[in-house]
Chain A
Amino acid sequence: MFFASVKLTVYTLVLLALTSIIGTVLLQNGSPEAYIRLYGPGLYNMIQVLHLDRMYQAWWFLLLMVVLCVNIVVCSIDRLSATWKIIFPKNISVNPRRFEKVKNRQQFECHLPMDRFAQQAKQILAGRAGKVMEKTDETGLFLYAEKGRWSRLGVYVVHASVLMLLTGALIGSALGFKANLRLDEGQTADTVFNAYTRLPIKLPFTVRCNDFQVKFYDTGAPDEFKSSLTILENNQEIFTEDILVNHPLRYKGINIFQASYGATTPDEAVFEITDNETGTVETHTIKNADAVPLPSGAGNFIFEGFLPHYNFNGHNLGEAFIGRLDTTNGNNVQIVLPTRFPTFDKMRKGRFTVEVKSWDHAYYTGLQVTKDPGVPFVYTGFLLMIIGCWVTFFVSHQSVCIGLEQAGSGNTRVWVAGRANRNAQSTNLTVKKLVKELKDVSGK
């Protein structure tokens, strides 16, 4: 049957690996303009037809995953009944013949009589290889022990974990969301915007940013940034918590993460206004959106706003204030005052020059708000996958057999051999250690 073949598994995995590369070299979740600028309109058509702009959510990529899942399920059902019979046999029969041609088989003769030696051997075998079974026939006595029969289930656990992971991912994409939220200090919000669709999502509570703090290292790199958030329901404060990167807040199935921060419009700032005609210099503390009269009644200066990143001829000049000079002679100009370049406004060569002298830094906090009810499934899948891989690769179904045969003059002829479904090295080691211990007790 088509879905029961391992060939299909291999082909599907190859296709998944190859196609996954596309999304790492081709821009994902970009805007149409971005694609046309990067690849041209012709290629953009193709990108759209094949959904390469969101390829990991594209129908054909999901189809590959579905094929993999069906393949896993069918293969597992196909083989499980046979494995089940091996794992839970009606009765375990000792068959010394199976050990005749094993590579690690060792033989030696000991000076103890067979029944005395058998007692010792049983104990040693039980200690190393599990519960001992005996069998006698015309050639002698066989001691048999095995362990790890259950480990044959490991591979089914690994495959089940893949299904569990994908189930979790499916639940997450159907019922979850990822959204961004920008809050100034003191601001509250109960609606966030989906990061991909930009559609509003109403939260079951209100969140307020009380305070935002950022600490820097001596090198200027950010050390830590922290928001103090309060959760409110029906205007009642429920609790207040500080969140940092790596320390999110979780409430009612919704997670709030510290993602970014930035400068926002300060409440007030100190401006210095110079009248270049008269040489008058005046300093004013102006509140956001307020105006002050210019020297000699020539008009007004208005504090209009603030830009965290001022783009000047393609260069990012950083934080900048925006003001407006509204002069009585009918001139009305907007001026930009980058804080890193205090004398920037001189370049305008106007009658009035404005300079920002000082201001209180104000920040907004960039939060990421997510909900993903699939996470418990995914984490269960993770756990199953680790356990399953461990069992599959490092635990084997190992059986060891010791054959005893009465030799002349009260001696016993002994052979030891071991088999395993995998990890032959460890079985060889078990055999070696057994032989050593057996030789020790026989006083040789």
Chain B
Amino acid sequence: MNSSLLLSAATFIYALASVFYIGSFSFKKQAFARLGFWVIVIGLVANTCGILLRWLESYQMGYGHAPFSNMYESLVFFSWTAAALYVFVEFKYKESIIGVFVSPLIFLGIAYASFDPSITSKITPLIPALKSNWLIAHVITCFLGYAGFALAFGFSFMYFIKPKDAGTKSLFAKLPEWDVIDELTYQMIVFGFLFLTIGIITGSVWANSAWGKYWSWDPKETWSLITWFIYAIFLHLRLMRGWHGKKLAIVSIIGFLGVLFTYFGVNFFLSGLHSYA
């Protein structure tokens, strides 16, 4: 048993969960969604064990670092945080069908890590810049933020498929009430915003001790700030201007595009200090 095996297992378990959720949505069978939930829980367990085992393996190889050092490890951790947060939310709100757009996101993160040939799953030693206690705090907070935004994105998406008059005949009638979706999206964004804020701050304090500047307008920094601005706009529109519903869902989706660009786009299209992940 090694970590890559466990993590590929997690990938397929998440895929199965997505199938159940989407099936539940398409065939209006609540039972499928209940099943999907437990499959996600199993996937989360496999994912957790995979990450811990990889951590252990890096010690056995003599490198000894937390598995947060490259694109592969970050994607695996992204799926983990999104799955963990989702399990918590479904457990708390008891709305199972909301997983229909979230479970594919969880699957896509870890699947991308496994299937893109340019992303290596090899455990590599830590470069000097990453050797710091800030690594764990920075990565965990940033990814909790990303997970919150990913879930908010999944929930916002429902505005575009749920018909206004949710008649019982409608295919999508099973989706939750508007105010529940609205509240859930807001809660996820608030959660994401707090953690993105802490993530940027820990990164900034770290940069000050590694590079001598807490802020140097590096593309990764700038894009994380742009994302922070977008969600700050979301919060002001909702709390101070009374925006809600579809209009606000668009802002949430734009915010998530910002997250995606900060996460992937910056590394693919722009060059900078933050080139590891």
Contact = CB atoms under 8 A, between A and B. Distances in A.
B99 to A, nearest CB: 19
Contacts of A56: 217
A368 B187 contact: no
B56 interface: no
Contacts, number: 110
Given A56-B217, A245-B210, A257-B211, A224 B131 contact: yes
Given A6-B236, A370-B212, A217 B129 contact: no
Contacts of B183: 424-425
B204 interface: yes
B209 A248 contact: yes
B108 interface: no
B203 to A, nearest CB: 11
A393 B232 CA distance: 13
Contacts of B210: 245-246, 257
A382 B270 contact: no
B87 interface: no
B41 interface: no
Contacts of B169: none
A102 interface: no
Contacts of A370: 212-213
Contact of B208 (A225, A259, A375, A394): A375
A368 B211 contact: yes
B241 A7 contact: yes
Given A246-B209, A379-B205, A222 B128 contact: yes
Interface stretch (A9-17, A280-288, A402-410): A9-17
A28 interface: yes
Most central of A16, A24, A217, A222 by chain B CB within 10 Å: A24
B120 interface: no
A382 B201 contact: yes
B222 A385 contact: no
Given A6-B240, A221-B124, A245-B128, A375 B230 contact: no
Nearest to B187: A425
A372 B209 CA distance: 12
B128 A375 contact: no
Given A245-B129, A385-B201, A9 B236 contact: yes
B127 interface: yes
Contacts of A16: 229
Do most interface residues of chain B lie in helix, strand or loop, or is the interface mixed?
helix
Nearest to A257: B212
B225 to A, nearest CB: 6
B125 A389 contact: no
A307 interface: no
A393 B193 contact: yes
Do most interface residues of chain A lie in helix, strand or loop, or is the interface mixed?
helix
Contacts of B229: 13-14, 16-17, 20
A244 B194 contact: no
B263 interface: no
Contacts of A20: 222, 225-226, 229
Interface in A209-225: 217, 219, 221-225
Contacts of A347: none
B237 interface: yes
- Chain B: interface residue count, which band? 35 or more
A24 B214 contact: no
A378 interface: yes
Contacts of A382: 201, 204-205
A279 to B, nearest CB: 48
A13 B212 contact: no
A10 B214 contact: no
Contacts of B204: 378, 382
A14 B128 contact: no
Contacts of B213: 178, 370, 372
A435 B217 CA distance: 53
A23 B233 contact: no
B219 A386 contact: no
Contacts of B269: 25
Nearest to A381: B201
A23 to B, nearest CB: 6
A82 interface: no
A300 interface: no
A25 B265 CA distance: 11
Contacts of B237: 10
B128 A223 contact: yes
B159 interface: no
A243 to B, nearest CB: 11
A175 interface: no
Nearest to B190: A393
A28 B129 CA distance: 23
Contacts of A372: 213-214
B3 interface: no
Interface of B: 63, 124-125, 127-129, 131-132, 183, 187, 190-191, 193-194, 197-198, 201, 204-205, 208-215, 217, 219, 222-223, 225-226, 229-230, 232-233, 236-237, 240-241, 266, 269-270
Interface of A: 6-7, 9-10, 13-14, 16-17, 20-21, 23-25, 28, 56, 169, 178, 217, 219, 221-225, 244-248, 255, 257, 259, 368-370, 372, 375, 378-379, 382, 385-386, 389-390, 393-394, 424-425
Which 6 pairs from chain A and chain B are nearest by CB? A17-B229, A245-B128, A370-B212, A6-B240, A257-B212, A24-B219
